């Protein structure tokens, strides 16, 4: 589907959804108990977000997907959101949107090769902070902070974190402030690190907020993914909110992977086949759980070869009237050129969005085989999580006027 046509359709869908959901939103805004007041949010108390990497909707959920467990098996059991969008390129800006509602800036859009502080110079509407950089000041709150304020629990489970302690610590792992991020590339196995280390700080949203990394709770709550199975053994040890980032192979980012695995959707499939049953069989999920499997960004675009070089066009499509935010300051389309093996590569990015990825939700509150074509993005996800947990303050662009949270199109069960 041509880019403009898709955008037009998204806009039309958005208008329709706004017409439906504004009533629910207004009801919430007018009442003291937001969670109870939302007519369609079920009694979910345990949410597991699993964020995968860089896949278009058609590649993941289309015919002949390399992840049939996700595209077919799990799809049949849950709700497929066909119009779920990332909010930026490359990775990090998407994770920050999910966790704090802050918009892209040039550094987060480039995955913060240097792990540097965000220098705030002002504020903008919708809770946006104006400035440049990576690690947001302590005044910028996250969903994790909201949960703690509400007396709820959370954890981040990070694949491979701490495998190489020289690369990052085993808890709350991030580079030193001001230092290059050595986790930008996966580390293959060596004599000293037999398992290798495919943790990527840029896929761990908690690490970009001083409100988290400066608190002792960071070390107890942002841990290696191997701890999840133990935590799932009882309801009391299962956090209300679990954010799961697989390593760079299991999340499909790399192909081939540093550990020799195939990567891409094939490794996603293997990973989910192992992880999802563990969650599905946990007491907390069975009681009141919700699993959200999404992707940080899509990869929609074209590659055109010619005698003069290669032109890569990245759509950067968005939905839901996503705003660029106060910090990018770009005139789209933008072009970046570089030479690769004697060939000129021109990357044209048409807009600031993260393209269409789709997402899949599983819960006893969802009727198997549900399909929703309502447009959502990462800000919608954040708003939905806030609603689920009865939080009244929407962070950043989660508070964008008219933004739609997951509604009756998703929660179709009893």
Partner 1 sequence: MAMMRTLLLVGILLSAGALCVTARMRASAPPAETSQLSPAASLGKKIFFDPTLSASGKMACATCHNPAYAYGPPNASAVQYGGPHLKSSGYRAVPSLRYILNYVPVWTHVQDTNPIEQLAEADTAPTGGYTWDGRYNSLHAQAMLPFFSTVEMDNRSVNELATKLSQASYAGELRAVFGKDIFAQPARAVANAALAVQQFELQDNSFHPYTSKFDQWLDGKATLTPQELRGKQLFDNPNSGNCASCHIDERGANGAHPLFTDFQFEALGVPRNNEIPWNRDPRYHDMGLCGPFRKDAASKDPANCGLFRTPALRNVAIRHVFFHNGRFHSLREALQFYVQRDTNPEKWYPVPPGGTVEKFNDLPAADRKNVDTIDMPLDRHPGQKPVWNEHDIDDVIAFLKTLDDQDVPERMNALGAETAHDSAK
Q: Looking at 11, 68, 299, 413, which residue binds partner 1 (CB under 8 A)?
A: 299
* Residue 106 interacts with partner 1 (CB under 8 A): yes or no: no
Of 39, 62, 125, 260, which lies in the binding site for partner 1, with binding defined by CB under 8 A? 260
CA distance 90 to 88: 6
Given the complex with partner 1, which of 150 and 182 has the nearer CB atom?
182
Residue 336 is inside which H or E element, if any? strand 334-340
**Burial of 18 per CB tally in 10 Å (0-12, 13-18, 19+):** middle
Regarding 55 and contact with partner 1 (CB under 8 A), the answer is: yes
Q: Is 185 in the site for partner 1 (CB under 8 A)?
A: yes
Query: 307 or 340, CB closer to partner 1?
Result: 340
Q: Does 177 bind partner 1 (CB under 8 A)?
A: no
- CA-CA distance, 138 to 99, in Å (whole number)? 14
Residue 307 sits in the site that holds partner 1 (CB under 8 A)? no
Nearer to partner 1, 61 or 241 (CB): 61
Query: Least CB distance from residue 162 to partner 1, whole Å?
Result: 9
Joined tokens for residue 105: 């800036």
Reading the block at residue 410, the tokens are: 């998703």
Among 65, 83, 90, 245, the residue binding partner 1 under the rule CB under 8 A is 90
> Which residues are CB-contacts of 3 (< 8 A; sequence separation ≥ 6)?
315, 317, 350
Contact (Cβ atoms closer than 8 angstroms) between residue 115 and residue 182 = no
Among 22, 190, 220, 234, binds partner 1 (CB under 8 A): 190
**DSSP string covering 174-232, please?**
-PPTTEE-GGGS-B---SSSTT-B---GGG-GGGGBHHHHTSTHHHHHEEEGGGHHHHT
Contact 64, 345 (CB under 8 A): no
**b/e code 322-334 from CB counts within 10 Å (16+ = b):** bbbbbbbeeeeee
* Closer Cβ to partner 1, 174 or 383, answer by number: 174
Residue 133 as a binder of partner 1 (CB under 8 A): the answer is: no
Residue 169 vs residues 162, 164, 201, 337: alpha-carbon distances, Å = 5, 8, 11, 36
Q: Is 176 in the site for partner 1 (CB under 8 A)?
A: yes
Query: If binding is defined by CB under 8 A, does position 339 make contact with partner 1?
Result: yes
CB of 189 to partner 1, least distance (A): 5
Report the DSSP pairing between strands 222-224 and 376-377: unpaired
Closer to partner 1 by CB, 33 or 344: give it. 344
Q: Is 344 in the site for partner 1 (CB under 8 A)?
A: no
When asked if residue 159 is in the footprint of partner 1 (CB under 8 A), the reply is no
Instruction: Please report, as ranges, the residues that interact with partner 1 according to CB under 8 A.
Output: 53-55, 90, 165-169, 173-176, 179-180, 182, 185-193, 196, 248, 252-258, 260, 263-265, 299, 301, 303, 310, 312, 314, 336, 338-343, 345, 347
């Amino acid at each position: 589907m041509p880019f403009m046509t898709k955008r037009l359709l998204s806009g039309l869908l958005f208008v329709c959804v706004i017409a439906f959901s504004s009533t629910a939103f207004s009801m919430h805004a007018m009442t003291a108990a937001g969670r109870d007041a939302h007519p369609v949010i079920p009694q979910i108390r345990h949410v597991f977000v699993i964020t995968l990497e860089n896949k278009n909707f058609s590649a993941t959920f289309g015919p002949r997907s390399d992840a049939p467990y996700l595209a077919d098996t799990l799809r049949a059991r849950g709700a497929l959101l066909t119009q779920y969008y990332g909010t930026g390129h490359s990775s990090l800006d998407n994770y920050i949107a999910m966790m704090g509602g802050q918009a892209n800036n040039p550094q987060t859009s480039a995955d913060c090769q240097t792990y540097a502080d965000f220098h705030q110079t002002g504020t903008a509407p919708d809770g946006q902070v104006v400035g440049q950089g990576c690690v947001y000041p302590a005044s910028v709150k996250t969903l994790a902070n909201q949960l703690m304020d509400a007396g709820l629990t959370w954890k981040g489970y990070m694949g491979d974190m701490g495998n190489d302690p020289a690369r990052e610590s085993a808890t709350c792992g991030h580079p030193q402030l001001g230092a290059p991020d050595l986790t930008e590339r996966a580390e293959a196995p060596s004599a000293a690190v037999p398992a290798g280390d495919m943790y990527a700080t840029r896929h761990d949203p908690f690490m970009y907020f001083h409100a988290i990394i400066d608190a002792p709770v960071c070390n107890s709550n942002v841990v290696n993914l191997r701890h999840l199975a133990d935590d799932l053994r009882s309801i009391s040890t299962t956090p209300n909110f679990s954010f799961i980032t697989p390593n760079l192979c299991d999340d499909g980012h790399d192909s081939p992977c540093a550990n020799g695995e195939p990567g891409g959707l094939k490794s996603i499939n293997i990973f989910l086949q192992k992880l999802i049953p563990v969650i599905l069989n946990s007491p907390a999920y069975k009681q009141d759980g919700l699993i959200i499997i999404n992707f940080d960004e899509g990869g929609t675009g074209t590659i055109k070869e010619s005698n003069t070089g290669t032109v890569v066009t990245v759509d950067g499509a968005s939905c839901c009237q996503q705003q660029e935010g106060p910090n990018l300051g770009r005139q789209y389309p933008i072009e970046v050129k570089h030479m690769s093996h004697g060939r000129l590569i021109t990357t044209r990015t048409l807009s600031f969005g993260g393209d269409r990825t789709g997402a899949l939700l599983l819960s006893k509150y969802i009727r198997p085989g549900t399909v929703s074509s309502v447009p959502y993005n990462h800000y919608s996800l954040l708003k939905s999580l806030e609603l689920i947990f009865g939080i009244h303050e929407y962070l950043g662009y989660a508070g964008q006027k008219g933004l739609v949270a997951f509604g009756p199109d998703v929660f179709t069960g009893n």
